[in-house]
Structure 1
Amino acid sequence: MKANMARRYRLYPTREQADRLTGWSDTCRAVWNTALAQRIWAYHSARRVTLRAVDQGPELTQARREYDWLADLPAQCAQQVLRRLDAAYDNFWNRDHPAGFPQFKKKRDWGSLCFPGQAIEVRQVSRRSAQVRLPKIGWVRFRVSRPIDGTVRNATVSRDGLGWHISFGVHQPELATPPVNTGPPIGIDVGIACSVFCSADDAARQRPATLSVGEHRRLRRLERRRARQLTYAKKYAGGKYSNRLRRTNAAIAAFKARQARRRLDWNHKLTTDLAQSHGLIGIEDLSVSSMIRSAKGTVTQPGSKVRQKAGLNRSIADQGWYEIRRQLGYKTKRYGGQLIVVPAPGSSQTCCRCGARDPESRRGCGRLFACTQCGHTEHADKNASINIRDRAIHTAGRAGTGTGGGAGSQSTRSPKGRGGRRASRMREPSSPGTAA
Structure 2
Amino acid sequence: MKISQHCKFRLLPNQEQEILLNQAIGSARFVWNQILAKSFEMFAKDEFIRYETIEKNLVPLKKIPEFSFLGDTYSACLQQKIRDLATAWKKFYNAKEQAKLKQKPFKPKKPRFFKLADGSEVQLRPLMPRFKKKSDGEQSFRLPFQDCDVVGDRVSLPKKTGWIKFKKSQEIVGKITSVTIKKICGLWYISFCTNREVEQPIHPSKSAIGIDLGVKKLITTSSGQVFDPINSFKANQVKLARLQRKLRKKTKFSQNWKKLNLKINKLHHHIANIRHDYLHKVTTTLSKNHAMIVVEDLKVANMSKSAKGSIEKKGKNVKAKSGLNKSILDQGLSMLVDMLEYKQLWRGGLLVKIDPRYTSQTCSSCGHVAKENRQTQAKFECVECGFSENADINASCNILAAGHAVLSVEGGCGKGRPVKQKASEIREEVT
The answer, yes or no, to whether TM exceeds 0.5 is yes
Match of 2:71 in 1: 71
**Aligned counterparts of 2:155 and 2:319: Cα–Cα separation in 1:** 48
1:111 aligns to what SS in structure 2?
Answer: strand
The residue type paired with residue 58 of structure 2 is L
The residue type paired with residue 206 of structure 2 is G
Q: 1:167 aligns with which of 168, 191, 208?
A: 191
Match of 1:117 in 2: 145
Q: Does 1:52 align with 2:50?
A: yes
Q: Deviations over 1:125-181 (max 9, x none)?
A: xxxx42332445222211111111222110111122361110000122322x43245
Give the CA deviation at 1:279.
1.7
Does the Cα contact within 8 Å between 2:207 and 2:292 map onto a contact in 1? yes
1:352 aligns to what SS in structure 2?
Answer: coil
The equivalences for 1:206-355 within 5 A come to 206-210=228-232, 216-229=237-250, 233=251, 239=252, 241-296=253-308, 304-355=316-367
Q: Does 1:130 align with 2:154?
A: yes
Cα 1:223–1:133, aligned 2, differ >3 Å: closer, same or farther?
Answer: same
Q: Which has the higher contact order (CA 8 A, sep 6+)?
A: 1
**Aligned counterparts of 1:162 and 1:358: Cα–Cα separation in 2:** 54
Does the Cα contact within 8 Å between 2:148 and 2:155 map onto a contact in 1? no
Cα 1:209–1:310, aligned 2, differ >3 Å: closer, same or farther?
Answer: closer
Cα 1:288–1:35, aligned 2, differ >3 Å: closer, same or farther?
Answer: farther
Cα 1:243–1:71, aligned 2, differ >3 Å: closer, same or farther?
Answer: same
Q: 1:372 aligns with which of 383, 393, 398?
A: 383
Cα 1:316–1:29, aligned 2, differ >3 Å: closer, same or farther?
Answer: farther
**Aligned counterparts of 2:367 and 2:33: Cα–Cα separation in 1:** 54
Match of 1:95 in 2: 96
Match of 2:104 in 1: none
Question: What value does the CA root-mean-square deviation take over the aligned residues?
Answer: 3.0
Q: Deviations over 1:295-329 (max 9, x none)?
A: 45899998654443332222111101100111111
Does the Cα contact within 8 Å between 1:134 and 1:140 map onto a contact in 2? no
Q: Deviations over 1:352-401 (max 9, x none)?
A: 1111111111145x211111111111111111111111111111113899
The residue type paired with residue 198 of structure 1 is T
The residue type paired with residue 369 of structure 1 is F
1:8 aligns to what SS in structure 2?
Answer: strand
**Aligned counterparts of 1:344 and 1:301: Cα–Cα separation in 2:** 29
Cα 1:268–1:306, aligned 2, differ >3 Å: closer, same or farther?
Answer: same
Q: Does 1:155 align with 2:155?
A: no
Q: 2:213 aligns with which of 175, 190, 199?
A: 190
> Under a length normalisation based on structure 1, what TM-score does the superposition of the two structures give?
0.80
The residue type paired with residue 300 of structure 2 is V
> Under a length normalisation based on structure 2, what TM-score does the superposition of the two structures give?
0.81
The residue type paired with residue 219 of structure 1 is L
**Aligned counterparts of 2:164 and 2:4: Cα–Cα separation in 1:** 24
2:273 aligns to what SS in structure 1?
Answer: helix
Does the Cα contact within 8 Å between 2:3 and 2:198 map onto a contact in 1? no
Does the Cα contact within 8 Å between 1:39 and 1:50 map onto a contact in 2? no
**Aligned counterparts of 2:341 and 2:137: Cα–Cα separation in 1:** 28
Does the Cα contact within 8 Å between 2:74 and 2:158 map onto a contact in 1? no
Match of 1:391 in 2: 402
**Aligned counterparts of 2:256 and 2:346: Cα–Cα separation in 1:** 48
1:324 aligns to what SS in structure 2?
Answer: helix
**Aligned counterparts of 1:275 and 1:138: Cα–Cα separation in 2:** 40
**Aligned counterparts of 1:38 and 1:303: Cα–Cα separation in 2:** 44
The residue type paired with residue 48 of structure 2 is T
**Aligned counterparts of 2:217 and 2:18: Cα–Cα separation in 1:** 42
Identity of aligned residues (%): 30
**Aligned counterparts of 1:324 and 1:11: Cα–Cα separation in 2:** 26
**Aligned counterparts of 2:49 and 2:407: Cα–Cα separation in 1:** 42
The unaligned stretches of length 5 or more in structure 2 are: 102-125, 417-431
**Aligned counterparts of 1:346 and 1:271: Cα–Cα separation in 2:** 25
Give the CA deviation at 1:284.
0.9
Does the Cα contact within 8 Å between 1:3 and 1:153 map onto a contact in 2? no
**Aligned counterparts of 2:53 and 2:3: Cα–Cα separation in 1:** 26
Higher alpha-carbon deviation: 299-308 or 131-140: 299-308
The residue type paired with residue 199 of structure 1 is S
Cα 1:251–1:353, aligned 2, differ >3 Å: closer, same or farther?
Answer: same
Give the CA deviation at 1:266.
1.2
2:396 aligns to what SS in structure 1?
Answer: helix
Cα 1:301–1:384, aligned 2, differ >3 Å: closer, same or farther?
Answer: closer
**Aligned counterparts of 1:379 and 1:91: Cα–Cα separation in 2:** 44
Does the Cα contact within 8 Å between 1:162 and 1:258 map onto a contact in 2? no
**Aligned counterparts of 1:281 and 1:294: Cα–Cα separation in 2:** 31
Does the Cα contact within 8 Å between 2:39 and 2:54 map onto a contact in 1? no
Corresponding pairs, count: 385
